[in-house]
Structure 1
Amino acid sequence: MALAPKFKGHRLLFSKEASAASFQEPLHTIEVFLDYVCPFSAKFFKTLYSDVVPRVRASPGLATKLQVIFRQQIQPWHPSSTLVHEAGLAVARLAPDRFYGFSEALFRAQTDYFDASVANEKRNDTYRRLARLAAGSAGVDEAAVYDLLAVSDKPGPDGGLNSGNKVTDDLKVLVKTARLVGVHVTPTVIFDGVVTNIDSSWTADQWLEWLEKNVA
């Protein structure tokens, strides 16, 4: 599935030539649908980002033929899932090249945003914590992140009371994207447009074995 330019931070390229004018988009695409407050997504991301990515970059035969797209997947039975994914969108807008670094930090701190951890916290207070995390982990301006996330307690210009925040429209695109391909479970992996069986229990060795068989 295509990726809108405004979500370019969600794309992970491996080849050193990716920034060159002559660069051609890789033949193969892995789309990973992950939720920041899903423990299985955290396990999946850690293996992928910390162990698999460096090995793919060290393998020219894979690096030039493969790209990964992080598809943020909100799981609404955890209300904070929306909030943490909004923070991901804010970082992706302000500093696309720091999206993966922030995602790593957010997965590492995910229990701070589990149901029990936010049960007695106001929504904007959760946003403030997320903005601090973005600043501390990815060097993104804390005030700028919070400005994108904060919800007003005053009526909007049209008198509406349900106008969301400055990343609400981007959030709607994420939801529509997942609905279009029928993704429900996290993590879900789509390889070249087809759901495949990579899961959170895989080791880096299993990943590399699979990639070497499927990335021609």
Structure 2
Amino acid sequence: MALAPKFAGQAYSANVNPKAVHTLELYLDYVCPFSAKMFKTVHTTVLPLLPRKYPSQLSIIFRQQIQPWHPSSTLVHEAGTAVLRLAPDKFWSFSAKLFEQQKDFFDVYVVNETRNQTYRRLAKVAGQAGLDEAEVYGLLEVPDKEVDGGANVGNKVTDDVKLMVKANRLTGVHVTPTVLFNGIVENSISSSFSSEEWETWLDKNVGASK
């Protein structure tokens, strides 16, 4: 599936030739432990392989998959969306920081704080990835009074989140993590894939297409 330019920071590739490229889409939720496990392996071992072993052959897209049974899922993905708005090149590093601290945003650790308090903590995570905390919070903060007569106004990234959710619904993806390879669900890839298993899979499915 195509990626809107405003969300370009979600894609990682190494000198990709658009005429001969595979696409691997990772549907991940920031508060899903299995998503964290997959992301860590991909971020630390798979991404560094691309320029060395698969230059111009593969694009990897991190699709933000909100899981609504965890109320904080919307909030953490709004933070990811704010990072995409402010500094797309820092999206992957921000995601790494957030996954490292994902437990801090599990249900029991957000239930007694306001929405804006959670946003402030998320802005601090973004700060650890090199963004300006105030700018991130400025996109996330929800006003505490009506705006032009409206009381259900969301924040400054609400419209972007709507676009992401609409796009994800078109695929019918439910569980996280889910991986699509060239638009087709790839059930052979699991969150427990080791670095060696990833490299074997990539050699077979990407390297063989040289």
TM-score, structure 1 as length reference: 0.93
Contact 1:34 1:73 in 2 (8 A): yes
Corresponding residue of 1:165: 155
Corresponding residue of 1:154: 145
Contact 2:13 2:50 in 1 (8 A): no
Indicate how the Cα distance of structure 1 residues 177 and 63 shifts in structure 2: closer, same or farther if over 3 A, else same.
Answer: same
1:89 to 66, 72, 81: 81
How much is the aligned-residue C-alpha RMSD, in angstroms? 1.1
Q: Which amino acid aligns with 2:2?
A: A
**TM-fit CA distance, 1:57:** 2.5
**TM-fit CA distance, 1:24:** 3.5
Corresponding residue of 2:44: 50
Within-5 A mapping of 1:54-93: 54-59=48-53, 62-93=54-85
Corresponding residue of 1:109: 101
Within-5 A mapping of 1:115-134: 115-134=107-126
Q: Which amino acid aligns with 1:172?
A: K
**TM-fit CA distance, 1:56:** 2.6
Residue segments in structure 1 that go unaligned for 5+ positions in a row: none
User: Deviation digits for residues 112-154 of structure 1, max 9, x if unmatched?
Assistant: 000011010100000001111101x211111110010000011
The reply to whether residue 207 of structure 1 matches residue 198 of structure 2 is yes
Q: Distance in 1 between matches of 2:167 and 2:177?
A: 15
The reply to whether residue 38 of structure 1 matches residue 32 of structure 2 is yes
The reply to whether residue 24 of structure 1 matches residue 18 of structure 2 is yes
Corresponding residue of 2:176: 186
TM-score, structure 2 as length reference: 0.95
Q: How many residues align?
A: 206
**TM-fit CA distance, 1:25:** 5.9
- Percent identity over paired residues: 60
Q: Distance in 2 between matches of 1:55 and 1:69?
A: 15
Q: Runs (4+) of structure 1 moved beyond 2 Å? A: 23-26
Q: Distance in 2 between matches of 1:162 and 1:63?
A: 46
Residue segments in structure 2 that go unaligned for 5+ positions in a row: none
User: Deviation digits for residues 68-120 of structure 1, max 9, x if unmatched?
Assistant: 01100000000000000000000111000000000000000000000011010
**Secondary structure in 1 aligned to 2:176?**
coil
Within-5 A mapping of 1:5-24: 5-15=5-15, 24=18
Q: Distance in 1 between matches of 2:18 and 2:171?
A: 26
**TM-fit CA distance, 1:173:** 1.0
**Secondary structure in 1 aligned to 2:113?**
coil
Q: Which amino acid aligns with 2:156?
A: K
Identify the range of structure 1 (23-32 vs 45-54) with the bigger mean alpha-carbon deviation.
Answer: 23-32
Q: Distance in 2 between matches of 1:214 and 1:138?
A: 33
Contact 1:26 1:67 in 2 (8 A): no
Indicate how the Cα distance of structure 1 residues 50 and 167 shifts in structure 2: closer, same or farther if over 3 A, else same.
Answer: same
Q: Which amino acid aligns with 2:140?
A: L
